[in-house]
């Protein structure tokens, strides 16, 4: 109760305080309201700003990420372009090299090749130098050959003339024409090929004489003794035989035939040496000149006026046998015997 009383005592003061408070509050209410509004607006502003900032941050972040993406795209594009350009430049350079080589090749092939011409001229030059050397050598050879031929002819002419000279050579008492004492005194003896003319005369006479006569050999008494001339053994075809065997048996029986065959071979080889190349055929039929054709001389049989038996005997030879064969002169008659009917009849 006390409290209540106390409380009730306090009511007017309270009421007054209340009233005062309220009127104070009221007097300050507009200002406070405005202040409150200001504070609220600031607070709202701050909160909104804070919210917006968050949004902005987020948006900026998003934009950042987006811009990064776009930038990377552009960067790759740009990189590609740059690489493409680099590659193009590289290929252009390579293409220029190829084109340069190609143009050089094509120009050299189709229009004009300078180095080929240079090489050709060098080759021609070296070949010319070679030919010049060869020509010099040939000219020297030709000159020396001509000189040799001329010398040879002159020597042969001199030899033939000397061989025909009839002048006498000098003797011990009388000097010959080619050995005059005047020439000996003045030492103007004429020399030909290093020897005086008289030597040539003697030499040519000796060679001429040697052609006709065999050399005379002087044999002593011992050499002419029969036991030295006739040997006791002889070498026959590789065999040693006693010399008492006769000459006929010492020689093979067909030695003559073999000698004839050898002669024929030599003759044929000599002909081949003279005519080594085969003849080209001529267009005419070959012309064989006949030896001793029929003429008035051999139509009639020869009647020897000095033979007393002419006309007395019968004809031992038939007309066919007496007729001239068309190959009258045969070298190897024993070979023809097999084929020649006349000879077969052993009419000789």
Can you give the binding site for another protein, defined by CB under 8 A? 117, 120-121, 123-125, 127-132, 134-136, 138-139, 142-143, 145-146, 149, 274-275, 277, 279-284, 286-287, 289
Tell me how far, at minimum, the Cβ of 299 lies from another protein, in Å: 18
| Distance between CA atoms of residues 147 and 230, nearest Å | 54
CB of 102 to another protein, least distance (A): 24
- 49 or 127, CB closer to another protein? 127
CA 312 to chain centre: 85
- Which one, 220 or 276, has the nearer CB to another protein? 276
Kindly provide the b/e burial profile for residues 200-232, where b requires at least 16 CB atoms within 10 angstroms of the residue's own CB.
Answer: bbeebeeeeeeeeeeeeeeeeeeeeeeeeeeee
- At closest approach, how far in Å is the CB of 307 from another protein? 20
Give the nearer residue to another protein in terms of CB position, either 26 or 292: 292
Structure tokens at 174: 């009388």
Closest distance between another protein and the C-beta of residue 154, in Å?
17
Centre a 10 Å sphere on the Cβ of residue 197 and count the other Cβ atoms it contains: 20
**In angstroms, what is the minimal distance from the CB of 141 to another protein?**
8
Please provide the distance, in angstroms rounded to a whole number, between the alpha carbons at the two ends of the chain: 219
- Closest contact distance (angstroms) between CB of 283 and another protein is 5
Asked whether 286 and 312 are in contact (CB, 8 A), the reply is no
Task: Say if CB 183 and CB 190 are below 8 A apart.
Answer: yes
Nearer to another protein, 187 or 284 (CB): 284
Quick check: 301 and 322 in contact, CB under 8 A? yes
Give the long-range contacts of residues 27-35, CB within 8 A, separation 24 or more.
none
> Given the complex with another protein, which of 114 and 338 has the nearer CB atom?
114
Q: Tell me whether residue 59 or residue 135 sits nearer to another protein (CB atom).
A: 135
Residue 292 φ/ψ region, left for φ over 0, alpha for ψ in the -120 to 50 degree band, beta for the rest: left
């Amino acid at each position: 109760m006390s409290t209540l009383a106390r409380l009730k005592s306090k009511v007017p003061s309270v009421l007054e305080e209340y009233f005062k408070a309220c009127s104070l509050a009221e007097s300050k209410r507009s200002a406070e309201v405005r202040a409150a509004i200001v504070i609220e607006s600031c607070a709202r502003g701050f909160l909104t700003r804070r919210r917006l900032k968050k949004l902005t941050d987020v948006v900026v972040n998003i934009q950042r990420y987006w811009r990064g993406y776009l930038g990377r795209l552009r960067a790759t594009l740009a990189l590609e372009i740059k690489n493409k350009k680099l590659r193009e430049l590289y290929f252009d350079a390579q293409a220029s090299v190829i084109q340069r080589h190609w143009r050089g090749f094509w120009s050299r092939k189709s229009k004009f090749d300078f180095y080929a011409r240079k090489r050709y001229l060098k080759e021609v030059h070296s070949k010319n130098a070679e030919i010049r050397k060869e020509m010099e050598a040939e000219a020297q050879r030709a000159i020396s050959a001509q000189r040799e031929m001329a010398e040879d002819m002159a020597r042969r002419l001199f030899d033939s003339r000397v061989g025909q000279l009839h002048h006498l050579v000098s003797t011990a008492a009388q000097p010959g024409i080619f050995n005059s004492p005047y020439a000996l005194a003045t030492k103007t003896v004429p020399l030909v090929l290093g020897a005086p003319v008289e030597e040539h005369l003697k030499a040519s006479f000796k060679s001429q004489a040697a052609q006709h006569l065999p050399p005379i050999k002087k044999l002593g008494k011992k050499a002419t003794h029969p036991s030295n001339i006739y040997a006791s053994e002889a070498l026959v075809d590789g065999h040693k035989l006693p010399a008492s065997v006769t000459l006929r048996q010492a020689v093979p029986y067909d030695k003559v035939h073999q000698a004839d065959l050898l002669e024929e071979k030599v003759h044929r080889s000599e002909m081949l040496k003279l005519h080594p190349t085969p003849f080209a055929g001529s267009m005419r039929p070959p012309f064989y000149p006949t030896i001793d054709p029929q003429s008035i001389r051999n139509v009639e049989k020869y009647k020897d006026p000095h033979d007393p038996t002419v006309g007395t005997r019968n004809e031992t030879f038939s007309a066919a046998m007496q007729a001239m064969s068309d190959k009258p002169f045969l070298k190897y008659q024993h070979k023809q015997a097999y084929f020649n009917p006349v000879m077969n009849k052993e009419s000789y």
